[in-house]
C-alpha cells in the first residue's frame, strides 16, 4: 500500500488531552497501539457518532458478526461480540463460576481471569513457566489430570507478559485428550503479531472440530489500534457461544466502536502497516537491548520482556521521571520489565533513555 499514516510521538494534541492522565508521558505500559487506528476506521467511527449516536446499533452488530464469521470460516452464531475481549473473558468466568470451576493457568500470564476468580472466591492453580518464560504445558497437563470436576484452563497465546507462544500441536494434543468439563479459554489478543511464525497457529481449528470446550478470544485493541473503543469478540461452537453470550453484559456495544471495527477490518493496507511498524520498532528496541547486553525473551507480540539489572519498581519510577511509562512487576523474579512497542520514533526515544540509564549504571 502507498497510504501514509501519521505516527505521533505522543498522544495527539486535542482539547480532550487534559482529561487523559499522564498524557504528556510516553505510554509504553499497556501494550496499546501508538499508531492509532486506520484513518478509515476513525472516519467511520466519527460518522457513526454523528448519524447513529441517537440510535441502537443492532444492525452494526449484525454486520460485524457477519464479517467476522466470514473471515474465520464459522457461522454468525459462533461469534460473541464483547465490550473488548475482556467482556467475553469475564462472561466465560461467570459461566464456569456457577459450577465452582477451578482455574489453571501459567504464571506469569495476563491477570484478568485470575482476578475474576479471586473475586468469586474460586480456587486458582498457577504453574510457573519454564526458565525461558515458555508456558510449561506438560506441567499444566499433569495438574489438570488431577482435577475431576469443572476446570477452566486459561491459555494466553501468545502469552502476556512473556511474548512467548504455545505451538498448536501441543495444545491440540492436550485438548483432544481432555474431558469435556475441562474448558480451554485461548486468549489470542496478540494473534496477529505471531501469525507469520510457522510454529504458531490459532486454536480456531479446534472449534471447527466441534469441540464445545474451547473458546478463542480476539480483540481490536492491539493490531487495529482501538483499545479505547472497547471492541473484542469470542469464537466458539454454536452451543458454547450461546451460553457465553448469555453471561455477558448484554446490549453491550456502541455505534462508534462497531463502525470503526467494520471499517478497520476492511483496511488491509493499515493492517499491514500496523504489523510492519511494530516489527520495525521492535527491531530498534532489540538492537539496543543487544548492545547493552540486556537479555530479552523473543517476542511474538507488541511488547518485550527484558532484563533491567535491578529492581523494577525503582526502574519504573526513574523511567517516569524521564517521561516514559513502562511496565511494572509482572514476573516472580525481580529484575525484568515489560515494555510495549510504540511507533519507531517512540522506541528511538525509549532506547536513548535506556542508554542514558546505562551511563548512570542504572541498568
Ligand atoms: N487479553 C490480553 C492477553 C491482554 O493483554 C489484554 C489487554 O492488554 C486483553 C485481553 C484485554 O483486551 P480488550 O481491550 O480486548 O478487553
Identify whether residues 114 and 212 lie together within a single domain.
yes
Identify whether residues 222 and 296 lie together within a single domain.
no
Interval 53-58 mean pLDDT: 96
Identify whether residues 251 and 282 lie together within a single domain.
no
DSSP-derived letter for residue 247 is: T
Ligand 1 neighbour 187 (Cβ under 6 A)? yes
Q: What are phi and psi of 59, to 5 degrees?
A: -65, -40
Identify whether residues 232 and 85 lie together within a single domain.
yes
pLDDT at 2: 38
Alpha carbon nearest to ligand 1 atom 13, residue: 84
- Is residue 10 included in any domain, yes or no? no
Query: How many CB atoms within 10 Å of residue 195?
Result: 14
**Residue 45 contacts residue 257 (beta carbons within 8 Å):** yes
CATH of the domain at 135: 3.40.640.10
- Residue of 160, 165, 192, 341 to mutate, ligand 1, most atoms within 8 A of C-beta: 160
Ligand 1 neighbour 160 (Cβ under 6 A)? yes
Ligand 1 neighbour 186 (Cβ under 6 A)? no
Q: From residue 114, give the alpha-carbon distance in Å to each of 92, 98, 190, 202, 279.
A: 12, 16, 19, 23, 31
Separation of 219 CA from ligand 1 center, angstroms?
Answer: 7
**Residue 225 contacts residue 274 (beta carbons within 8 Å):** yes
Cα 16 to Cα 205: distance, rounded to the nearest angstrom: 43
Identify whether residues 261 and 276 lie together within a single domain.
no
Identify whether residues 71 and 216 lie together within a single domain.
yes
Identify whether residues 190 and 339 lie together within a single domain.
no
Residues 80-89 have pLDDT tens digits of: 999 999 999 9
Separation of 5 CA from ligand 1 center, angstroms?
Answer: 25
Identify whether residues 221 and 277 lie together within a single domain.
no
- Is residue 8 included in any domain, yes or no? no
Q: pTM score, two decimals?
A: 0.95
- Residue of 34, 83, 110, 154 to mutate, ligand 1, most atoms within 8 A of C-beta: 110
Identify whether residues 338 and 228 lie together within a single domain.
no
C-alpha cell belonging to residue 167: 505451538
Alpha carbon nearest to ligand 1 atom 4, residue: 189
Cα 304 to Cα 171: distance, rounded to the nearest angstrom: 23
Ligand 1 neighbour 340 (Cβ under 6 A)? no
Identify whether residues 254 and 283 lie together within a single domain.
no
Residues 274-300 have pLDDT tens digits of: 999 999 999 999 999 999 999 999 999
- Is residue 111 included in any domain, yes or no? yes
Interval 216-226 mean pLDDT: 98
**Residue 155 contacts residue 106 (beta carbons within 8 Å):** yes
Ligand 1 neighbour 84 (Cβ under 6 A)? yes
Separation of 181 CA from ligand 1 center, angstroms?
Answer: 25
**Residue 255 contacts residue 90 (beta carbons within 8 Å):** no
Ligand 1 neighbour 86 (Cβ under 6 A)? yes
Closest CA to 233 of 7, 71, 107, 54: 71
- Is residue 323 included in any domain, yes or no? yes
Helix axes 255-266 and 268-292, enclosed angle (nearest 10) = 80
266, 286, 308 - which closes a domain: 266
Q: From residue 126, give the alpha-carbon distance in Å to each of 106, 113, 136.
A: 5, 12, 11
- Average pLDDT of the chain, as a whole number: 95
Identify whether residues 82 and 168 lie together within a single domain.
yes
Q: Which atom of ligand 1 is nearest to the CA of 190?
A: 3
Ligand 1 neighbour 229 (Cβ under 6 A)? no
pLDDT at 16: 64
232, 266, 300 - which closes a domain: 266
C-alpha cell belonging to residue 290: 543487544
Closest CA to 261 of 77, 59, 64: 64
pLDDT above 70 covers a percentage of the chain that reads 94
Separation of 292 CA from ligand 1 center, angstroms?
Answer: 30
Ligand 1 neighbour 172 (Cβ under 6 A)? no
Assess whether pLDDT exceeds 80 at residue 317.
yes
CATH of the domain at 321: 3.90.1150.10
C-alpha cell belonging to residue 144: 489438570
Question: How many distinct structural domains can be found in the chain?
Answer: 2
Structural domain span for residue 317: 17-30+268-359
Residue by residue, DSSP assigns 219-242 as: ESSSTT--GGG-EEEEE--HHHHH
- Is residue 124 included in any domain, yes or no? yes
Separation of 293 CA from ligand 1 center, angstroms?
Answer: 30
Q: How far is C-alpha 45 from the chain's CA centre?
A: 22
pLDDT at 4: 46
> Beta strand pairing status for 79-83 and 231-235?
antiparallel
C-alpha cell belonging to residue 226: 482501538
Q: Which residues, 6 or more positions from 152, have their beta carbon under 8 angstroms from its beta carbon?
A: 92, 93, 96, 101, 102, 103, 104, 113, 117, 183, 185
pLDDT at 24: 79
Identify whether residues 188 and 287 lie together within a single domain.
no
Q: Which atom of ligand 1 is nearest to the CA of 83?
A: 16
Assess whether pLDDT exceeds 80 at residue 264.
yes
Amino acid at each position: 500500500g502507498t497510504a501514509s499514516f501519521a505516527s505521533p510521538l505522543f498522544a495527539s494534541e486535542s482539547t480532550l488531552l487534559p482529561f487523559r492522565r499522564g498524557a504528556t508521558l510516553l505510554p509504553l505500559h499497556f501494550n496499546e497501539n501508538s499508531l492509532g487506528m486506520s484513518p478509515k476506521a476513525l472516519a467511520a467511527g466519527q460518522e457513526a457518532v454523528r448519524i447513529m449516536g441517537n440510535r441502537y446499533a443492532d444492525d452494526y452488530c449484525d454486520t460485524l458478526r457477519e464479517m467476522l464469521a466470514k473471515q474465520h470460516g464459522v457461522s454468525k452464531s459462533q461469534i460473541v461480540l464483547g465490550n473488548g475481549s475482556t467482556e467475553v473473558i469475564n462472561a466465560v468466568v461467570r459461566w464456569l463460576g456457577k459450577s465452582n470451576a477451578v482455574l489453571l493457568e501459567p504464571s506469569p500470564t495476563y491477570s484478568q481471569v485470575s482476578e475474576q476468580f479471586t473475586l468469586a472466591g474460586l480456587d486458582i492453580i498457577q504453574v510457573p513457566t519454564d526458565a525461558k518464560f515458555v508456558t510449561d504445558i506438560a506441567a499444566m497437563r499433569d495438574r489438570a489430570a488431577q482435577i475431576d470436576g469443572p476446570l477452566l484452563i486459561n491459555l494466553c497465546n501468545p502469552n502476556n507478559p512473556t511474548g512467548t507462544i504455545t505451538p498448536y500441536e501441543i495444545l491440540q494434543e492436550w485438548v483432544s485428550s481432555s474431558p469435556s468439563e475441562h474448558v480451554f479459554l485461548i486468549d489470542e489478543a496478540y494473534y496477529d503479531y505471531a501469525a507469520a511464525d510457522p510454529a504458531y497457529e490459532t486454536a480456531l481449528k479446534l472449534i471447527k472440530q466441534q469441540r464445545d470446550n474451547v473458546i478463542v478470544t480476539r480483540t481490536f485493541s492491539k493490531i487495529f489500534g482501538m483499545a479505547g473503543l472497547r471492541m473484542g469478540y469470542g469464537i466458539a461452537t454454536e452451543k458454547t457461544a450461546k451460553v457465553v453470550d448469555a453471561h455477558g453484559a448484554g446490549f453491550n456495544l456502541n455505534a462508534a466502536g462497531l463502525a470503526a471495527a467494520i471499517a478497520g477490518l476492511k483496511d488491509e493496507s493499515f493492517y499491514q502497516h500496523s504489523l510492519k511498524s511494530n516489527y520495525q520498532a521492535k527491531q530498534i528496541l532489540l538492537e539496543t537491548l543487544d548492545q547493552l547486553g540486556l537479555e530479552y525473551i523473543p517476542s511474538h507480540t507488541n511488547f518485550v520482556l527484558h532484563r533491567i539489572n535491578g529492581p523494577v519498581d525503582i526502574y519504573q519510577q526513574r523511567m517516569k521521571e524521564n517521561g516514559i511509562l513502562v511496565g511494572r512487576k509482572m514476573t516472580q523474579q525481580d529484575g525484568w520489565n515489560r515494555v510495549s512497542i510504540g511507533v519507531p520514533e517512540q522506541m528511538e526515544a525509549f532506547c536513548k533513555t535506556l542508554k542514558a540509564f546505562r551511563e548512570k549504571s542504572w541498568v
